[in-house]
């Protein structure tokens, strides 16, 4: 690693419409000495930096990491946030993308720039990094979206058409507090407001600002979109509310053609247990021809904590540690942005298998050697390897069923919290379950299980929450993965990117209420996973009609009863199993 300088500049860069966007520029010693260097860009809606904060380690660590690699670092408050002027119209808007384009042009024209630009970021910042790679600017060489949302609807906000209410409520409120520089908006009392203020400080002003400019910028943020109000009214993928937010044009998958045309090199990272980021990594890997290095671990959002469900202790450090993950990222960016870098070729996805912690790599997905193994649901609560006889199982939906509010894969995005699934034996008591016989040999499930149900309901709508689990010989129930589907959106259709299973467009035109008492076909794809289930363990499928504390309840205003029909042509789950594993 090269030496860095402890100096930087904070300034406004004017956009093509005159709006002033706040940026920080940090130069390595090489650039200060007159050498041209590559530049790493990160655009955020969470303040590019703060003043008066008790904790500046993340910001200081990023500066040291990037400049220590001999690269310039440019951090950006996107329009309508931090110290930037303007109004934030919603996540990753077309206006925001236009601003990013202007900033890339500005960077490439600087005297310290070698004309090669990269971008990185986690979460929201990961999506801005990927969108920078779709701008078609020759200067943009490499982007590194980490724990980002390739399809923010399907992989985060509305998986299966069900609103992720807990996270979005917290996220929207937190953003409002940041945009208005008003922590009291999310504080329970005055003491908590003072603690939050001490922790977060204020948005960093540009050099020479006595505070009046940043105050004027914050005043404009009052007009920012109320995201929770807009999203809370959405019932379908193509509702008017989606148009307000510019979706799907703000989603990375919608700019796939532009990304491919750019030839931008991509290093993308996700986790089996971070919302749907692993599904996004796989969709991007399967759909985009760009040179890629993809990684899927078993981590919390951001990669700080281990999230393997086979761990008995919550909050253990990630393997490899997050500092090592970041160092690998810096090394990659240093290599790709060097003047003499040869173009990267090929596409490789490296993933971990939970249960053994083995890392493997593949150039195709599904990996070679994976094939579907079908298990049928039976009327006596079994998962059978032979077709079941005709029958049925009745389940009265329990509105208190839960996947573990506060520590599950859907809430790690709020503050990058640890993920921990405790023994689900209690949770399963609120579900209807089917359990297989103990396995004779280990089973490795790698990919996306697909569930096929023939079912009826007494309600016209509802949500199916399906959990694939493993039960050890002592009866402990280990969460493996899950799938979600709103029954209103059970219709399948063409997918806008490559998928491994049925895709639900969740459009208004295809939405159809259930007819009470009528048997319907319901198919859903569970989120991908790679998990080693030891010999002697039993696989289990658990179904619930709610995930209390995490997802908005659907049709829970009156008791709903399901009938799940069994038989050779009725209900089963296809597991992607590694043959010979």
Going along the chain from its start, the domains and CATH numbers come out as 4-360 (3.40.50.1820), 370-578 (2.60.120.260)
Mean pLDDT confidence for 93-111: 97
Residues 573 and 435: beta-carbon distance below 8 Å: no
Rounded distance, CA 42 to CA 126, Å?
8
Please give the pLDDT value at position 7.
60
Q: Which residues have CB under 8 Å from 342's CB, separation 6+? A: none
Residue 212 has pLDDT above 80, yes or no: yes
Scan for tokens 């990491």, then name that residue.
65
Q: What would the mean pLDDT of 516-536 be, rounded to a whole number? A: 98
Local structure of 68: helix, strand or coil = helix
Per-residue model confidence (pLDDT) at position 2: 45
- Identify whether the C-beta of residue 33 lies closer than 8 Å to the C-beta of residue 96: no
Question: What pLDDT is recorded for position 33?
Answer: 86
- Between CA 28 and CA 2 the distance in angstroms is 8
Q: What integer pLDDT is reported at residue 3 of this predicted model?
A: 43
Q: What is the distance between the alpha carbons of residues 405 and 426, in angstroms, rounded to a whole number?
A: 14
| Helix, coil or strand: residue 428 | helix
The DSSP letter of residue 153 is I
Determine the pLDDT at residue 1. 37
Q: Tell me if 245 sits within 8 A of 96, measured CB to CB.
A: no
Evaluate if pTM is beyond 0.95: yes
Write out the two tokens for 382. Answer: 């079994």
Alpha-carbon span 183 to 46, nearest angstrom: 13
Average pLDDT over every residue of 394-413: 94
Predicted confidence at residue 561, as pLDDT, reads 98
Please state the rounded mean pLDDT for residues 507-521.
Answer: 97
**pLDDT for res 103:** 98
Q: Which of the pair, 404 or 457, is modelled with greater confidence?
A: 457
Q: Are the CB atoms for 73 and 37 separated by under 8 Å? A: no
Q: Which of 60, 72, 66, 64 is nearest to 30 (CA)?
A: 72
pLDDT at 240: 82
Q: What pLDDT score does 503 carry?
A: 98
pLDDT band at 245 (very low <50, low <70, confident <90, very high): confident
* Whether residue 123 has pLDDT greater than 70: yes
pLDDT of residue 580: 64
Residue 6: what pLDDT?
45
Task: Please tell me the predicted confidence (pLDDT) of residue 581.
Answer: 62
Q: pLDDT tier at 436 (50, 70, 90 boundaries)?
A: very high
* Residues 180-192, mean pLDDT to the nearest whole number: 95
Write the Ramachandran bin of 339: left for phi over 0, alpha for psi from -120 to 50, otherwise beta: alpha
Average pLDDT over residues 236-240: 88
Q: What is the DSSP letter of 344?
A: P
Q: What is the pLDDT of residues 6-48, one digit of tens each?
A: 468 999 999 999 999 999 999 999 888 889 999 999 999 999 9
Query: Residue 59 has what pLDDT?
Result: 85
pLDDT value, residue 483: 98
- Calpha distance 69→88 (Å, rounded): 33
**3-class DSSP state of 374:** strand
Q: What is the pLDDT of residues 481-505, one digit of tens each?
A: 999 999 999 999 999 999 999 999 9
pLDDT of 300 over the 90 cut: yes
Beta strand ranges found along 299-418 (DSSP E): 347-353, 358-362, 370-377, 382-384, 391-396
Chain Cα centroid distance, residue 391: 39
Q: Please state, in angstroms and rounded to a whole number, the distance separating the CA atoms of residues 139 and 561.
A: 58
Separation of alpha carbons 83 and 428, rounded Å: 48
**Mean pLDDT along residues 56-75:** 93
Element housing 227 (H / E): helix 227-232
Q: Is 490 helix (H, G, I), strand (E, B) or coil?
A: coil
Element (H, E) at 205: none
Tell me if residue 219 falls in helix, strand or coil: helix
What per-residue confidence (pLDDT) applies to 157? 94
Would you call the peptide bond into 395 cis, given omega within 30 degrees of 0 as the criterion?
no
Q: What is the mean pLDDT of residues 408-413?
A: 93
pLDDT at 243: 73
Average pLDDT over all residues of the chain = 95
Residue 147 · residue 277 · CB < 8 Å: yes
Residue 224's pLDDT band, with cuts at 50, 70 and 90, is very high
C-alpha triplet 479, 480, 485: angle, nearest 5°: 95
pLDDT digits (tens, 9 = 90+) for 313-348: 888 999 999 999 999 999 999 999 999 999 999 999
Specify the residue for token string 């086979």.
310
Which of 448, 413, 419, 468 is closest to 529 using CA atoms?
448
Which DSSP symbol is given to 262?
H
3-state secondary structure at position 131:
helix
Peptide bond into 366 cis (omega under 30): yes
Q: Say what the pLDDT of residue 406 is.
A: 80
Check residue 474 and give its pLDDT.
Answer: 97
Say whether 166 sits in a helix, a strand or coil: helix
Count CB-CB contacts under 10 A for residue 233. 11
Question: 287 in helix, strand or coil?
Answer: helix
Region 259-276 average pLDDT: 98
Helix (H) or strand (E) holding 294, with range, is strand 292-297
3-class secondary structure, 421: coil
Q: Assign residue 335 a region: left if phi > 0, alpha if psi is -120 to 50, beta otherwise? A: alpha
């Amino acid at each position: 690693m090269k030496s860095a300088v402890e100096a930087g500049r904070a300034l406004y860069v004017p956009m093509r419409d005159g709006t002033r966007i706040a940026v920080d520029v940090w130069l390595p010693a090489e650039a200060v000495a007159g050498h041209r260097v590559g530049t790493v860009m990160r655009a955020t809606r969470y303040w590019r930096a703060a003043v008066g904060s008790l904790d500046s380690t993340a910001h200081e660590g990023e500066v040291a990491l990037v400049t220590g690699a001999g690269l310039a670092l440019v951090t950006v408050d996107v329009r309508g946030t931090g110290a930037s002027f303007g109004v934030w119209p919603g996540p990753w808007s077309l206006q925001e993308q236009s601003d990013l384009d202007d900033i890339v042009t500005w960077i490439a024209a600087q005297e310290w720039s070698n004309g090669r630009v990269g971008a990185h970021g986690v979460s929201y910042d990961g999506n801005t990094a990927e969108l920078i790679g779709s701008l078609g600017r020759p200067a943009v060489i490499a982007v590194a979206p980490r724990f980002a949302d390739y399809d923010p609807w399907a992989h985060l906000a509305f998986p299966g058409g069900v609103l992720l209410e807990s996270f979005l409520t917290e996220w929207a409120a937190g953003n409002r507090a940041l945009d208005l520089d008003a922590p009291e908006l999310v504080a329970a009392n005055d003491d908590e407001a003072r603690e939050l203020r001490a922790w977060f400080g204020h948005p960093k002003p540009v050099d020479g600002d006595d505070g009046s400019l940043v105050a004027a910028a914050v005043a404009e943020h009052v007009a920012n979109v109320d995201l929770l109000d807009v999203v809370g009214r959405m019932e379908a993928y193509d509702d008017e509310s989606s148009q307000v937010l510019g979706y799907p044009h703000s989603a990375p998958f919608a700019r796939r053609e532009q990304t491919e045309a750019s030839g931008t090199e991509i290093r993308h990272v996700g986790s089996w247990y971070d919302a749907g980021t692993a599904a996004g990594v796989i969709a991007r890997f399967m759909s985009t021809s760009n040179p890629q290095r993809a990684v899927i671990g078993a981590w919390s959002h951001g990669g700080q904590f281990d999230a393997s469900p086979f761990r008995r202790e919550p909050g253990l450090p990630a393997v490899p540690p997050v500092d090592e993950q970041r160092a690998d990222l810096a090394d990659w960016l240093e290599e790709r942005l060097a003047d003499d870098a040869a173009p990267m070729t090929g596409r490789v996805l490296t993933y971990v298998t939970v249960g053994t912690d083995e890392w493997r790599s593949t150039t195709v997905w599904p990996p070679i050697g994976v094939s579907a193994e079908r298990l049928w649901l039976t009327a006596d609560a079994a998962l059978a390897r032979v077709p079941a006889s005709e029958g049925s199982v009745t389940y009265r939906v329990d509105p208190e069923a839960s996947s573990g509010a506060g520590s599950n894969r859907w809430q790690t995005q709020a503050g990058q919290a640890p993920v921990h699934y405790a023994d689900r034996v209690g949770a399963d008591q609120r579900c209807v379950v089917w359990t297989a016989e103990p396995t004779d040999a280990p089973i490795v499930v790698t990919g996306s299980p697909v569930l096929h149900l023939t079912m009826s309901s007494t309600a016209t709508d509802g949500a199916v929450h399906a959990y694939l689990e493993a039960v050890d010989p002592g009866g402990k129930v280990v969460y493996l993965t899950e799938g979600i589907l709103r029954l209103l959106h059970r219709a399948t259709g063409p997918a806008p990117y490559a998928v491994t299973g049925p895709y639900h467009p969740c459009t208004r035109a295809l939405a159809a209420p259930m007819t009470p008492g009528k048997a319907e076909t319901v198919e859903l794809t569970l989120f991908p996973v790679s998990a080693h289930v030891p010999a002697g363990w039993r696989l289990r499928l658990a179904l619930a009609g709610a995930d209390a504390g995490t997802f908005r309840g659907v049709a829970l205003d009156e008791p709903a009863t399901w009938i799940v029909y069994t038989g050779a042509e009725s209900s089963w789950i296809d597991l992607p199993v590694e043959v010979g594993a």
